[in-house]
Amino acid sequence: MEKVVAVIMVGGPTKGTRFRPLSFNTPKPLFPLAGQPMVHHPISACKRIPNLAQIFLIGFYEEREFTLYVSSISNELKIPVRYLKEDKPHGSAGGLYYFRNIIMEDNPSHIFLLNCDVCCSFPLTDMLEAHKRYSGMGTVLVIKVSAESASQFGELVADPITKELLHYTEKPETFVSDLINCGVYVFTPDIFTAIQEVSTHREDQANLRHLTSFETLQSPTSRALPQDFVRLDQDILSPFAGKKQLYTYETMDFWEQIKTPGMSLKCSGLYLAQFRYTSPDLLAGGDGTKSASIVGDVYVHPSAKVHPTAKIGANVSISANVRVGAGVRLIGCIILDDVEVQENAVVINSIVGWKSSIGKWSRVQADGDYNAKLGITILGEAVIVEDEVVVINSIVLPNKTLNVSVQDEIIL
């Protein structure tokens, strides 16, 4: 029987710096979106792939940061999930190659490779079917975006009929195409040979270079890269494009990259909306009689206590042991573990950090521009907003107490 394995790249503590202050006390891949750790969404999509043997998470966080999560998710999904720690960054393809013996131990016929910080519907089963039809080495998930935003990503040109990947450029200076790389791939084991070739070629170039300094003047970039550091986009996709090896599968659903807290709030909403189709049991309901009024898509952790006179939604995610008082209004927000929101407080377009407390009649809000620096309000861990204080379009670092109102500020 054909087996499939999935590899999810989770990065490390040196990455995700744009995710502060939320990444101070939790690795970014474990930050909750729609009430589930970020990495949980690609993992649960992998679970739907037929004949899935194992899931590997590759990154350079300390193992202890993932131990609890990996064991609980393995038990919950009844599928082995393992965390593999890189000794140093090897690049997106190099990391795969570094652990090739472990990844290949079940002799899989196909290997999925996903980035943890992309948010999409992960149409993996359909993608695998298409990949088998194309019979190439790899298939890349792609999406059409506006020409203005395309240049922030890897742009690619695909044959409209055969869907072959003909040309690939990472963050081009000029417009190439409105099709972009979603950071989700499926490969045959031939990918390991391809990565090996890049390393070997680089070693040969290095040996040549001892003989001639002309090449050094010609190519300063390749000189800087260690031989075992291989990037999937520049080192594999670009050179193998147009060689009948790589193909594309276009998603018609949503796709976003989760680089900032603002985008995480947007993506939390996208995942909540997707729960309607994949996990409707996770969405809260309530009409304000016995439980709070729920508007739109809302997740409430079973341990949270929400007063029946509160009104929650749309796009609200409430984590463990949160207490929400009478008359509270929550719209477009992520409320993290152990937060208390007291009577008649209002929270709009904000992320409220662990163990924070929001006083009576206070307001924590923002305009909700997910891309702007202060477009959403963020309270770090254990921030206290006193009664009747208003916080607008601001970022507040952990352990601060606010007894006066603030607007458009970063409170250090």
Residue ranges covered by each domain of the chain: 4-214+221-257, 261-407
Averaged pLDDT, 234-251:
94
pLDDT at 16: 58
Q: Would you state the structure tokens that stand for residue 24, as one six-digit string?
A: 């101070």
Least confident of 95-104, 111-120, 217-226, 263-272: 217-226
Q: Would you state the structure tokens that stand for residue 395, as one six-digit string?
A: 């970022």
Residue 220 in this model has a pLDDT that exceeds 90:
no
From CA 13, how far away is CA 314, in angstroms rounded?
32
Give percent above pLDDT 90 in the chain. 77
Give bridge partners of residue 6 from the DSSP assignment.
Answer: 55, 112
Residue 108 in this model has a pLDDT that exceeds 80:
yes
Cα-Cα-Cα-Cα dihedral of 109, 81, 24, 408, to 10°?
Answer: 60
3-state helix, strand, coil in the chain (%, to 5): 30, 30, 40
CATH architecture of 261-407: 3 Solenoid (2.160)
Model confidence pTM above 0.85: yes
pLDDT at 15: 62
Residue 217 in this model has a pLDDT that exceeds 60:
no
Tallying the residues shown for the chain, one arrives at: 412
Residue 412 in this model has a pLDDT that exceeds 80:
yes
What are the tens digits of pLDDT across the range 254-299?
A: 999 998 999 999 999 999 999 999 999 999 998 888 899 999 999 9
pLDDT at 23: 82
The residue type found at 218 is: Q
pLDDT at 14: 75
The residue type found at 290 is: K
Averaged pLDDT, 13-30:
82
Mean pLDDT of the chain: 92
From CA 171, how far away is CA 180, in angstroms rounded?
10
What are the tens digits of pLDDT across the range 127-152?
A: 999 999 999 999 999 999 988 888 88
Q: How confident is the model at residue 213 (pLDDT cuts 50, 70, 90)?
A: low
Q: Which fold has domain 4-214+221-257?
A: Spore Coat Polysaccharide Biosynthesis Protein SpsA; Chain A (3.90.550)
Residue 44 in this model has a pLDDT that exceeds 80:
yes
Q: How confident is the model at residue 243 (pLDDT cuts 50, 70, 90)?
A: very high
Q: How confident is the model at residue 25 (pLDDT cuts 50, 70, 90)?
A: confident
